[in-house]
Amino acid sequence: MLEDKAASGISRRRWFSRLLGLLPSAGFLRGWKQGLAAPLLQSAPAQDQPAHLQNDRVIISPLQEVKGTITPTARFFMRNHHDQPELSLKSWKLSIEGNVSKPLELSFSDLIESPSVGLESVLECSGNRTGLVSNGAWEGVPMSYLLKAASPASDATRVLLEGADSGSLMKDQPAFPFARIVPLEKCLAPESMVALKLNGQFLPQRNGFPARALLPGWYAMDSVKWLRRIVLLGGLDWPESYYGSGMDLLYQRWVKQGGREQVTSRVSELLVNSGIAFPSPGENLGAGQHSVWGFAWAGPRAIRATEVSLDKGRTWKTAKLETDSRPFTWVRWSYQWSAKPGKHTLMSRAQDGTGQWQPSRRPPERTDGYELNWYASVNCVVA
């Protein structure tokens, strides 16, 4: 405690000056220290290593570290298919091509100087059960602006979003870039953007620097990171990076019917879901009053209600919504719990604006690993 502080002096209060260490000195870069540096330098990734790095391709995002509603950038979840590419701004371009009459090749500068929009939005991995969901304040260029500038052909109905990361999805396959195909309609939606910033800073490399697609309200696999190509597709177009790589087989709903497994539809829009931030799993608590809290989200729909169960789902209590409920972002909820000694299982569930509640369990016919949105639950011990 005090000893810890003494050991590090009072330097914990001087984090900002440490960040400024990158700067050239002696006023040679006059102006840098006076405002510009702060927002830029705070994103210096080496000073901002995520604490919950599972491995090179996964970072778990702990809900309890969210202050307010925004997940700190260093705590933002990450789930990659391939290794992160290291891109040079000198050579990186975003091309918009395919069924367009004016193909474009945009530099990072072009994107920065394009009209921009901002939006608070949840990103959730389609395989999230816990820790693969975060909420950020995004800024970027409306995808509709870029697509319209390229003048899509009238038969363009789908868009291939291709990243700069590549690898093999299946054994003995050549490497293909990560790519997703989404309907043109979603790309033209006002919330869809080519995101350049997260929480006021340029994207960290692990989250898609220099630019990523952001399709708010959809599961995160379609928000392609390290975006480098946007290809407008007609109905008969058959891009190899998508179909040849096996990507078309991923993110589909598989169901078992009559002893056979089959694909029924594509995973896209977020389902209503919730998570408990406090208590965290296995936490030991003292008896008494505790504020149980967490988040609830429903993609493009707002949250109508959130409930908490203290008895493994037998009875439910209404939780208080602490923040405004809006589409795309999440709402913070809380419930005042008088904890008595013993082992407890707390659960949460949310209802979206259409009246849809989270399910109590996984539909038994589903055999894929996506849309795992049944009740959230946490075990804890009260002493």
Partner 1 sequence: MSISAPFHKYDDVCGERAGVEGAKRRRVDAGYRRGGATKPSARPVATRRVDGGCGRSLRWLSSKMAQHRLPPPALISPHKPHLQTSSYLWNGTLRLCFRLVSFVFLGLTIVSGAPRQQIATSSDPTALDLASLLGQFGEEPSAAQLGRVRDWLGSHQPGQWEAAFDEVLKLTDSRPVHDLLIQESHRRKHHASARKRLSTLSDNNPSTPTYLVNLVQLEILAGDGKRARGHLRSAATRFPKLAQIHSDLGQWLFDHGQGDLAFAELLRAQSAGTLPPRAALVLASMEATVGAYKDGIDTASSIEKRSDLPAPVRAEAAALTGKTYALARQEKDAARYLEQAIELAPEVEDYYLSLAKVHQQSQSEGDALAVLREGHGRLPEAQGLGVALARRLMTAGDFNTAIGILSGISNRSPDQLEALSLLAQAHRASGNPKLATQTWRRLAQHQPRYPMVHVFLAQSLSEEGASNAEVLEALKTAEATSPGDSDVYYLRGRVYNEMGQHEEAVKELTRAISMQPNIPSPYYQLGLAYQQLGQEELARKQFEKKERLEGATSGR
Rounded to whole angstroms, the Cα distance separating 94 from 112 reads 12
Tell the burial category of 63 from Cβ atoms under 10 Å away from its Cβ (0-12, 13-18, 19+). Answer: buried
The yes or no reply on residue 282 touching partner 1 (CB under 8 A) is: no
Report yes or no: 274 and 349 within 8 Å, Cβ to Cβ: yes
Report yes or no: 57 and 207 within 8 Å, Cβ to Cβ: no
- CB-nearer residue toward partner 1: 177 or 210: 210
Size of the site for partner 1 (CB under 8 A): 51
| Cα R_g (the chain), whole angstroms | 23
Q: How far is the CB of 275 from partner 1 (least distance, A)?
A: 21
Footprint (CB under 8 A) of partner 1, residues 101-160: 107-110, 112-115
Q: Residue 356's closest CA among 298, 315, 308? A: 298
Of the candidates 157, 205, 252, 356, which one interacts with partner 1 according to CB under 8 A?
205
Binding pattern for the stretch 64-93 against partner 1, x by CB under 8 A and - elsewhere: ----------------------xxxxx---
Binding pattern for the stretch 224-263 against partner 1, x by CB under 8 A and - elsewhere: ----------------------------------------
Q: What is the DSSP letter of 272?
A: P
- CB-nearer residue toward partner 1: 89 or 263: 89
Report yes or no: 204 and 53 within 8 Å, Cβ to Cβ: no
> What's the token pair of residue 94?
């975003």
Distances (CA, A) of 17 to 8, 195, 199, 216, 271: 15, 29, 21, 36, 43
Of the candidates 15, 32, 97, 123, which one interacts with partner 1 according to CB under 8 A?
32
Footprint (CB under 8 A) of partner 1, residues 165-204: 202, 204
186 contact partners, CB below 8 Å, separation of at least 6? 192, 215, 218, 268
Q: How far is the CB of 40 from partner 1 (least distance, A)?
A: 4
The yes or no reply on residue 334 touching partner 1 (CB under 8 A) is: no
The yes or no reply on residue 53 touching partner 1 (CB under 8 A) is: no
The span of 19-27, 62-70, 167-175, 351-359 binding partner 1 (CB under 8 A) equals 19-27
Rounded to whole angstroms, the Cα distance separating 91 from 141 reads 20
- CB-nearer residue toward partner 1: 109 or 154: 109
- Tokens 């003048």 map to which residue? 151
The span of 34-42, 219-227, 267-275, 361-369 binding partner 1 (CB under 8 A) equals 34-42
Q: Residue 45's closest CA among 30, 26, 59, 31? A: 59
Q: Which residues bind partner 1 (CB under 8 A)?
A: 1-2, 4-6, 9-10, 13-14, 21-26, 28-32, 34-37, 39-41, 43-47, 86-90, 107-110, 112-115, 202, 204-205, 209-210, 383
